[in-house]
Chains A and B, each alone.
Chain A
Amino acid sequence: EAGVAQSPRYKIIEKRQSVAFWCNPISGHATLYWYQQILGQGPKLLIQFQNNGVVDDSQLPKDRFSAERLKGVDSTLKIQPAKLEDSAVYLCASSLEGVKLFFGSGTQLSVL
């Protein structure tokens, strides 16, 4: 079974630039999560999708972050413009309701 795919693995940008991350969840998984994990801290939920609808985006900084999940499958997370404090690992995870979570390998973003 293929896992959750994320790309890119690493990204280095300068502040005020834009960046986009991509996630392909496991086939058939209705729930998709984007997390931000700053070094030394636990993951913080940015947005949760159920199919192509948003369940929770209360912690998403909507002035600069956006996410979409077209057709309820792949998802992209965008930051525009990036700030220094956005440096973190961005994790994508998927699950069927009540079934094991699967995480992607994450995208490590460095904002200089």
Chain B
Amino acid sequence: KNEVEQSPQNLTAQEGEFITINCSYSVGISALHWLQQHPGGGIVSLFMLSSGKKKHGRLIATINIQEKHSSLHITASHPRDSAVYICAVSSNYQLIWGAGTKLIIKP
């Protein structure tokens, strides 16, 4: 079993829909990261969380430390949000990656 599990693996939605991507982990962490990678592009860090909730524009990230679970939400989704979203956790000075969620937003 992977230490960081993401779901869904693939997600296709219509423009304007509310998007949720989930991440569960089984190790002790000091931080959880949500990252975005566009096709052929570099990786951009969206959020770093150790507790609670963060919001940036249309993106919201939450984490429940007790349940070892985090969610990334996108409100009013847009085709430019199409990308791979990756959850990664910092644990014992190491970074453990989820497999990523490929999101496609159709116009």
Binding site for B on A (CB under 8 A): 31, 33, 42-43, 45, 48, 50, 55-56, 91, 93, 95, 97-106
Contacts and interface: CB of A to CB of B under 8 A. Distances in A.
SS class of chain A's interface: helix, strand, loop or mixed?
strand
A98 B30 contact: yes
19 contacts: A33-B95, A42-B86, A42-B97, A43-B43, A45-B95, A48-B93, A48-B94, A91-B42, A97-B30, A98-B31, A98-B50, A98-B90, A100-B33, A100-B45, A101-B45, A101-B48, A101-B95, A103-B44, A106-B42
Nearest to A39: B40
A59 to B, nearest CB: 12
Contacts of A101: 33, 35, 45, 48, 88, 95
Interface of B: 30-31, 33, 35, 42-45, 47-48, 50, 86, 88, 90, 93-95, 97, 99-100
A50 B95 CA distance: 12
Contacts, number: 50
A43 B93 CA distance: 17
A14 to B, nearest CB: 24
A33 B96 CA distance: 12
Contacts of A45: 95, 97
B40 to A, nearest CB: 9
B42 A55 contact: no
Contacts of B35: 101, 103
A102 B45 contact: yes
A33 B35 CA distance: 15
Given A98-B30, A98-B31, A98-B50, A55 B94 contact: yes
In order of increasing CB-CB distance, the 4 nearest A-B pairs are A100-B48, A103-B43, A101-B45, A98-B30
A99 B43 contact: no
Nearest to B49: A100
